[in-house]
């Protein structure tokens, strides 16, 4: 029963062009759900769904985990099997916390701690363009233009442009030439094809340790730092939103809270007394 149901859901998600990451997450959640409920989706009741979600909550699952499970179940019931159960459970709120951001000085120290030219180019490009790790690893030669690059089928299956820093443009071109890459080739590859995300995570972790940065630094920290530094440099939130590919400006506004007040040119009202 599990196999046919999961295959049906997988086909529907592929048809709708959901990202592979979303597909993998949803299928994992549904496997757990069906194993617990042990009924065909056409016979599952609202009460059983609610009890399952309550059980996950009581077991201390994080809010983000509850959200993914609930979204997966809704997709299975409503989109794959076209049942109008009107599952109206409240989504768990994500805890409000500010992401880790490097100062500009810490960012420079991090880059200086990486001596492998390819590794250095990877993390500098990720920071300079505000790329997610998956977006960096999926970049192809054809995605790089003169002053712009393109993220193809990024989060939400969207294309978006990204800026290419002047200081990196020639280095990217030289790297592509030195690797003798073709138009449709991935820019960054490993010994066995694709670079594994953990490889980049380890590069950044070791660089942060060598640079004596006492923060939890990971690939997404570079994207957070990129956005915060743009705000500090006086760029408009709407411009930053477009570069990050956020649907909502509210998502981008978090970086305003992270930017230094002095660099935002905020003056105390005391100065005008």
Q: Which residues are catalytic?
A: 132, 155, 220, 223, 246, 255
The CA distance from 203 to 219, in Å, is: 9
Task: Name the phi and psi angles at 31, rounded to 5.
Answer: -60, -45
Q: How many other β-carbons are positioned within 10 Å of the β-carbon of residue 264?
A: 13
Cβ–Cβ under 8 Å, residues 141 and 182 = yes
Q: How many other β-carbons are positioned within 10 Å of the β-carbon of residue 215?
A: 12
Residue in the block written with tokens 């499970």: 69
Task: Name the phi and psi angles at 55, rounded to 5.
Answer: -65, -45
The CA distance from 228 to 240, in Å, is: 9
Cβ–Cβ under 8 Å, residues 196 and 190 = yes
């Amino acid at each position: 029963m599990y196999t046919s149901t999961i295959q049906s859901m997988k086909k529907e998600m592929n048809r709708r062009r959901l990202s592979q990451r979303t597909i993998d997450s949803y299928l994992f959640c549904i496997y757990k759900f069906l194993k617990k409920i042990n009924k065909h989706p056409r016979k599952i009741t609202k009460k059983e769904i609610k009890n399952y979600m309550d059980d996950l909550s009581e077991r201390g699952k994080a809010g983000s985990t509850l959200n993914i499970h609930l979204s997966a179940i809704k997709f299975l019931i409503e989109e794959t099997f076209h049942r109008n159960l009107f599952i109206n459970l409240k989504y768990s709120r994500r805890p409000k916390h500010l992401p880790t951001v490097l100062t500009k000085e810490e960012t420079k120290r991090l880059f200086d701690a990486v001596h492998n030219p390819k590794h250095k180019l990877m993390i500098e490009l990720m920071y300079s363009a505000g790329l997610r790790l998956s977006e960096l690893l999926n970049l192809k030669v054809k995605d790089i233009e003169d002053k712009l690059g393109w993220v193809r089928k990024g989060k939400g299956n969207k294309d978006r442009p990204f800026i290419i820093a002047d200081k990196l443009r020639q280095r990217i071109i030289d790297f592509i030439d030195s690797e003798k890459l073709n138009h449709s080739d991935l820019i960054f590859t490993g010994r066995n094809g694709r670079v594994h995300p953990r490889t980049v995570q380890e590069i950044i972790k070791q660089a942060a340790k060598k640079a004596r940065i006492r923060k939890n630094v990971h690939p997404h920290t570079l994207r957070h730092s990129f956005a915060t530094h743009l705000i500090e440099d006086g760029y408009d939130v709407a411009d930053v939103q477009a570069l990050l590919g956020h649907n909502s400006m509210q998502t981008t506004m978090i970086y305003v809270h992270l930017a230094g007040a002095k660099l935002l040119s905020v003056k105390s009202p005391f100065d005008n007394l």
